[in-house]
């Protein structure tokens, strides 16, 4: 097992990784930007090194600075968390070339799954159901040709995309021309590559993802599904496990399909296979070769510490259990709490004057915020995750309602009121929602206020 792990991230996920390491008796190294000198994970880590100015390109995305910090401190492994360099194959290779273990899959696996086009090809060969789609698009004419072949509506996506960037929908040839140009421009600005492709646009889908764990000895298990359909501009807002849209037979079938596919691909470490689900059918869209923001809901239902397993797998350990050993108990929901105006979604950085996290049975808060902490404007605005677990979905909702009422964050605006609004709606309570439900609900609410 590793003696010292460097955490190449910030915020709540850096603290989450630190906690897992300490429970395993592993010392930690925190790297941080100048803006994060007072962060909680920096305070708690055994060692801390400043790796650059506030801008992420000069700190958390600075590969050389991070590897240098690992060498100087004698860290024998690096955990990338999510975001930043977590799916950067070049970084993973650099880490391994310096005799340091990268806690994640191989660089080769990251490259295959990080390219949306090659990921589709690999997934199809491995037996995953695929949404109808195109090859890389080369012109407006080529795009229109593919769109008519697939059938409108379609969605144009950045090959290297993520976070909803570089995605544009089209319902006819005229819109297709605009969508192609806009998606390419946005992809170039966000990912330094203007390569785009196309998929059939499902009009009432749900976003269902399957969590997998695989060791380096060929053992693979799935940890069930998460429903991530509550979204705004392709950004997840709330997630739950299990999905209220699936029955037991469906979840067992798709889980086994994914497990076998990962065996065929020779994948190892944690990963998430994401699908669009509509009218009883699953369509593969992408695979995330890293830890997911919403991993705590799966942990709550399975009792498996996914970060701990990532570390064990990277060290060469076997899973030590089979699919038959995994049990699923109760229901869990996660709310992402952002420092944003809950109506306009404009980021609202500032000093937290008062902080009180909810507690009690089945309530977990992942955050490194504390009273007096200053939220900077330099990074993602998510400042906390509230995870609630109950024996049933209804019990979970009741507990979540209470926990949100108890949550106090004074000094900055947050999206807690939005989360309260979501879970009070009949459609959500009944589990009758899809990927577009939240935006439609918000548009209807805004229109009603104007009248």
Number of domains in the chain: 3
Residues 380 and 325 in one domain: yes
Q: Tell me which DSSP letter residue 335 carries.
A: E
Q: What are the pLDDT digits (tens) for 34-56?
A: 999 999 999 999 999 999 999 99
Read off the pLDDT band of 20 (50, 70, 90). very high
The 10s digit of each residue's pLDDT in 321-336 is 999 999 999 999 999 9
In the listed set 84, 103, 122, which residue is the last one of a domain according to the structure? 103
Q: So what's the pLDDT on residue 160?
A: 80
Task: Give me the half-sphere count of Cα atoms (radius 13 Å) on the Cβ side of residue 184.
Answer: 14
pLDDT for residue 25 is more than 80: yes
Domain residue limits at 396: 206-450
> Which of 200, 228, 254 delimits the end of a domain?
200
Percentage of the chain with pLDDT > 90? 91
> 79 and 149, same structural domain?
no
Residues 276 and 177 in one domain: no
pLDDT of residue 449: 81
Residues 156 and 230 in one domain: no
Picking from 87, 103, 119, the residue at the C-terminal end of a domain is 103
pLDDT at 290: 97
If asked whether residues 191 and 319 sit together in one domain, one would say: no
Q: The CATH number of the domain where 90 resides is what?
A: 3.40.50.20
Do 288 and 164 fall into the same domain?
Answer: no
The two tokens of residue 121 are 């090809």
Instruction: Say if residues 364 and 300 touch (Cβ distance below 8 Å).
Output: yes
Q: How many helices (H) and strands (E) does the chain have?
A: 15, 20
- Domain co-membership, 257 together with 377: yes
Q: What integer pLDDT is reported at residue 162 of this predicted model?
A: 67
Mean pLDDT of the chain: 96
φ and ψ at residue 349, rounded to 5 degrees: -70, 165
Spatial CA neighbour of 35 closest among 376, 380, 384 = 376
Mind listing the pLDDT tens digit for each residue in 350-395? 999 999 999 999 999 999 999 999 999 999 999 999 999 999 999 9
Residue 448 is predicted with a pLDDT of 80
CA distance 396 to 137: 45
Q: What is the CATH number of the domain that holds 306?
A: 3.30.470.20
Q: Are residues 147 and 9 in the same domain?
A: no
At 447 the pLDDT is: 83
**Whether 317 and 423 share a structural domain:** yes
Mean pLDDT of 76-90: 97
Kindly report each contact of residues 28-32 with a partner whose C-beta sits within 8 Å and lies 24 or more positions away, as own/partner.
28/4, 29/4, 29/5, 29/69, 29/70, 29/73, 29/75, 31/6, 31/7, 31/59, 31/60, 31/65, 31/66, 31/69, 32/59
Calculate mean pLDDT across residues 13-28.
98
Distance CA 235, CA 246 (A): 22
157 pLDDT band, cuts 50/70/90, is: very high
Say yes or no: 211 and 196 in one domain: no
Same-domain status, 81 and 40: yes
Q: Are 418 and 342 in contact (CB under 8 A)?
A: yes
Q: What is the pLDDT of residues 404-423, one digit of tens each?
A: 999 999 999 999 999 999 99
Confidence label for 163 from pLDDT (cuts 50, 70 and 90): low
pLDDT score of 257 more than 70: yes
Residues 170 and 264 in one domain: no
Q: What amino acid positions are annotated as catalytic residues?
A: 290
Instruction: List the CATH number of the domain containing 175.
Output: 3.30.1490.20
How confident is the model over 415-433, as a mean pLDDT?
A: 97
Strand bridging mode 220-232 / 363-366: unpaired
């Amino acid at each position: 097992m590793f003696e010292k792990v460097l955490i190449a991230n910030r915020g709540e996920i850096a603290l989450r990784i630190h906690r897992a390491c300490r429970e395993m008796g592993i010392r930690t190294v925190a790297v941080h930007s100048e803006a994060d000198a007072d962060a909680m994970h920096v305070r708690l880590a055994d060692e801390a090194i400043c790796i650059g100015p506030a801008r992420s390109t000069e700190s958390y995305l600075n590969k050389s600075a991070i590897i240098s910090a690992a060498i100087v401190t004698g860290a024998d492994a690096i955990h990338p968390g999510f975001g930043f360099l977590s799916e950067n194959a070049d970084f993973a290779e650099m880490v391994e070339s310096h005799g340091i273990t990268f806690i994640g899959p191989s660089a080769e696996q990251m490259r295959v799954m990080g390219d949306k086009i090659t990921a589709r090809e690999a997934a199809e060969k491995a037996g995953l159901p695929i949404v109808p789609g195109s090859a890389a698009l080369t012109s407006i004419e080529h795009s229109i040709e593919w769109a008519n072949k697939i059938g409108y509506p379609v969605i144009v996506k950045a090959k290297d995309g993520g976070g909803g960037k570089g995605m544009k929908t089209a319902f006819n040839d005229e819109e297709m021309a605009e969508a192609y140009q806009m998606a390419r421009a946005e992809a170039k600005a966000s990912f330094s590559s203007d390569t785009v492709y196309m998929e059939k646009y499902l009009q009432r889908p749900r976003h269902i993802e399957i969590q997998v764990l695989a060791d380096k000895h060929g053992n693979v298990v799935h940890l069930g599904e998460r429903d991530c359909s509550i979204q705004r501009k392709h950004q997840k807002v709330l997630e739950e496990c299990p999905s209220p849209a699936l029955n037991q037979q469906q979840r067992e079938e798709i889980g086994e399909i994914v497990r076998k596919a990962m065996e065929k691909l020779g994948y190892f470490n944690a990963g998430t296979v994401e699908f669009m689900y509509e009218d009883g059918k699953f369509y593969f869209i992408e695979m995330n070769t890293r830890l997911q923001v919403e991993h705590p809901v799966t942990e709550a239902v399975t009792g498996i510490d996914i970060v701990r397993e990532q570390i064990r797998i990277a060290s060469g350990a076997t899973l030590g259990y089979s699919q038959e050993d995994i049990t699923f108990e109760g229901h869990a929901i996660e709310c992402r709490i952002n420092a944003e105006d809950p109506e306009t979604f404009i980021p609202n950085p500032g000093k937290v004057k008062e902080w009180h996290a909810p507690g009690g049975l089945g309530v977990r808060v992942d955050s490194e915020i504390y009273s007096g902490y200053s939220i900077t404007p330099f990074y993602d605005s998510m400042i906390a995750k509230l995870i609630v677990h109950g024996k049933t979905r209804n019990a979970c909702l009741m507990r979540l309602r209470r926990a949100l009422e108890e949550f106090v964050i004074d000094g900055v605006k947050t999206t807690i009121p939005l989360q309260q609004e979501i879970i009070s709606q009949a459609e959500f309570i009944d589990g009758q929602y899809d990927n577009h439900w939240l935006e439609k609900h918000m548009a209807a609410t805004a229109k009603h206020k104007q009248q």
